[in-house]
Chain A
Amino acid sequence: MQLRTLTPQRIYILIGYAVASAALFSAPLFMSDFRLNLLAKFLAFAIVALGLDLIWGYTGILSLGHGVFFGLGAYAMAMYLKLEASGDRLPDFMGWSGLTQLPWFWKPFESFAFAAAMGIALPAVLALVLGYFTFRNRIRGVYFTILTQALVIITVTLFIGQQAFTGGTNGLTGFSSVLGVPLSSPDTKRMLYWITVIALLGAFVLCRYLVKSRFGKVLRAIRDGENRARFIGYNPAVYQMLVFSISAGLAGLAGMLFVLHVGIISPFMMAIVPSIEMVLWVAIGGRGTLIGAALGAILLNYAKSEFSTSYPDAWLFFLGALFVIVVVFLPKGAVGLFGRLKFPKRKGQKHEQVSHSAV
């Protein structure tokens, strides 16, 4: 273990983390229930952004399929909630579609623990399988990206088509309680908010550990030169599979929290547009910095909730323009812009110094 030298910069960063965490934990004290619920949703999105940053910002692989992983997590939790809401009866939409019996794969979701485990495991395993069949054959770059987009299309089509099992276009909604506690009560909402904060901080610590470890350095090496890493003796496919899977698992976790806050999940929430919007969160905050990705998700969604309802048309123009501007002019996102304003002369050397002495 290296000695951690407490440079002034490090102290500021630590103070920053402490203040941010404290502010997040105490938010219920000064926020209305409605605002708190919104913030909780944004924090769940921030978890997706962290995972997406791992795979895109650090490993250089662009996934447009994270909506699916998010959605799988959300559906897993929603299945549990739906069963709890339906009690002994068959969920309403199944009856409408002519089912008389609960499908076998729905049964285990009566258990909260099983649903919660599946919410992370399903997306992680799906990502692992897709990663195995692509990275192993060195299908990467745009080819991989397009395949992830196709994954979104077929998943959405499948979920719409299999109405009897998935609720079709309406998705799953009409929940009442989680573990016997009513979802609508302010106390539950506050508790769920705190759980989300803890999940976000946990995800942040995990991602930070990953990117600062030697594993994270290998990820960046693979981003810089996959073949070069191969000739040193690393097998990039295994690294890519693992990080893709972790990233998908985080999206699944976020999806579960999302359903608990919002009370509905439908195929449209995991379609192409939401999936690509997730990428924008990371792009705008700054790919390759965890704080940037998380902040990007929170700020963009805040802006969206402020403007998209009152000016829906202008919002879409704005979103489109934002994509163009960020990609062409700000490849490092807002954090990069901020860094450039603040430390114009250092060329990022300081960051690197911190990164290897902190291991």
Chain B
Amino acid sequence: MNRSVILQCEAVTVEFDGFKAVQGMDLRLEKGELRFLIGPNGAGKTTILDVICGKVKPASGKVLFQGKVDITRRKEHQIAELGIGRKFQAPSIFPTLTVFENLEIAMRQNRGVFATLRAKMSAEERDRIEAQLAMIGLEAKADWRAGGLSHGEKQWLEIGMMLLQEPEVLLLDEPVAGMTDKETDKTGELLHQIARKRSIVVVEHDMEFVRNFASKVTVMHEGKLLKEGSMDEIQQDDRVAEVYLGKRRDVDVSRSTA
């Protein structure tokens, strides 16, 4: 292993009122890796993302960031400051702020109160935001209230916000849900592009998308790690097939249950 590990989950267990949503889950993410996390409903995929970004505190286990910081003890905003960005399933942008303002506050910067009180928009910051606007195709709508955007545009805005946030690790929960085929392909290419510099974990139900863009896939089932490997290895695995559809091997049909 030459590449350094950026994120490491060790034996993470999460309980909700006695129900174990995640049981002893391990996950190692290397720098510049694009990892897909799949599994049937209730497998604990979203929960493990929640643990990494601090939304849910695990009952036991550790999550090490850059090999040293145990982030399970940190608060959400501290984890975000360390460099872990999260995109939720439903587009969550700030509806009464304009598109431009959404990007402005998401941009990497000092987020203390006194810093934002004195903050002035520099020419360099403006250029960065405008470049990002161009990339997500919302230049013409920069002054719109974000709440007035279409579903797909909101998704793009949120991706734009994440990119300006410049996190080391991106956690994406179903980023292509509700997107057209064309947009889905664009997103996939974008993910590969981003993964050159950063690490990404994607939870996805869209098997077509996973097959087209995944290099390494982790399958979860009932809160545990079931299988990890390339897409081909996953598709050949009997246990994965069984989990998804009884005895049948066609993983693709799982989309209907998503």
**CB within 8 Å of B: which residues of A?**
1-2, 210, 213-215, 217-218, 220-221, 223-225, 227-236, 238-239, 242, 347-349, 352-353, 355-356, 359
Asked if B96 contacts A230 (CB within 8 A), the reply is no
Q: Give B194 Cβ to nearest chain A Cβ, in Å.
A: 17
Instruction: Indicate whether A214 sits within 8 Å of B77 (C-beta atoms), given known contacts A221-B97, A238-B113.
Output: no
- Name the contact of A233 in the complex, choosing from B80, B121, B148 (C-beta under 8 A): B80
CA distance A1 to B116 in the complex (A): 15
Q: Does B106 contact A (CB under 8 A)?
A: yes
- Partner of B97 from A224, A227, A233 at Cβ < 8 Å: A224
Query: A232 contacts B106, CB within 8 Å?
Result: yes
Quick check: A230 and B121 within 8 Å, CB to CB?
no
Central interface residue in B75, B95, B96, by most chain A CB within 10 Å: B96
B113 touches A215 (CB 8 A): yes
B161 contacts A232, C-beta separation under 8 Å: yes
Complex-state Cα separation, A221 to B96, whole angstroms: 8
Give B34-74 interface residues, CB cut-off 8 Å to A: 53, 55
Which of A1, A224, A229, A238 is in CB contact (< 8 Å) with B120? A1
Name the distance in Å between B100's Cβ and chain A's nearest Cβ: 5
Q: Which residue of B lies closest to A241 (CB)?
A: B113
Interface centre among A231, A235, A349, A359 (most CB of B within 10 A): A231
B142-186 contact mask (Cβ, 8 Å, vs A): 1 or 0:
011100100000000000010001000000000000000000000
Chain A residues, Cβ within 8 Å of B118: 213
Query: Whole-angstrom distance from the CB of B117 to the nearest CB of chain A?
Result: 5
Supplied contacts A221-B97, A233-B111, 9 more A-B pairs, CB within 8 Å: A2-B121, A214-B116, A218-B111, A218-B116, A220-B96, A228-B88, A230-B77, A231-B88, A236-B77
CA gap between A2 and B119 in the complex, in Å = 12
Q: What residues of chain A lie closer than 8 Å to B88, measured between beta carbons? A: 228, 231
Residues of A within 8 A of B144 (CB): 349, 352
Interface centre among A210, A214, A347 (most CB of B within 10 A): A214
Interface assignment of B81: CB less than 8 Å from any CB of chain A: yes
Q: Give the residues from 76 to 121 in chain B that come closer than 8 angstroms, CB to CB, to chain A.
A: 76-77, 80-81, 85-86, 88, 92-98, 100-102, 104-106, 111-113, 116-121
**Contact-residue bracket for chain B:** 35 or more
Nearest residue, chain B, Cβ from A352: B98
The residue from A218, A230, A235, A349 contacting B105, defined by CB atoms under 8 A apart: A218
Q: Which residue of A has the minimal Cβ distance to B108?
A: A233
Asked, given contacts A349-B145, A352-B98, whether A221 binds B113 with beta carbons under 8 Å apart, the answer is no
Q: Identify 14 residue pairs between A and B in the complex whose beta-carbon atoms are under 8 Å apart, listed by A's number.
A: A214-B116, A215-B113, A215-B117, A220-B96, A221-B105, A224-B95, A230-B77, A231-B85, A232-B105, A233-B165, A235-B111, A238-B113, A347-B145, A349-B143
- Point out the residue from A210, A225, A349 that lies within 8 Å of B94, measured CB to CB: A225
- Would A353 and B143 be within 8 Å (CB), given that A232-B165, A239-B113 are in contact? yes
Interfacial chain A residues near B161, Cβ < 8 Å: 232
Decide if the interface of chain A is mainly helix, strand, loop or mixed: helix
Closest A residue to B75 by beta carbon equals: A235
Q: Is the CB–CB distance between B53 and A231 below 8 Å?
A: yes
Known: A213-B116, A214-B104, A220-B96. A234 touches B148 (CB 8 A): no
In the assembled complex, the Cα of A230 lies from the Cα of B77 at a distance in Å of 5
List the B side residues contacting A236 at CB < 8 Å.
77
Q: Which residues of A contact B100 (CB under 8 A)?
A: 356
List chain A residues, Cβ under 8 A from B121: 2, 359
Q: Let me know if A223 and B96 touch, CB within 8 A.
A: yes
The minimal Cβ–Cβ distance linking B102 to chain A, given in whole angstroms, is 8
Give A71 Cβ to nearest chain B Cβ, in Å: 27
- Determine whether the beta carbon of B77 is less than 8 Å from that of A217: no
A347 partner residues in chain B, CB cutoff 8 A: 145, 148
Q: Which residue of A213, A224, A353 has the most chain B CB atoms within 10 A of its CB atom?
A: A224
Q: What residues on B are CB-neighbors of A210 within 8 Å?
A: 117
Alpha-carbon gap, A210 to B105, bound state (A): 15
A228 lies within 8 A of B75 (CB): no
* Cβ contact of B80, chosen from A213, A214, A230, cutoff 8 A: A230
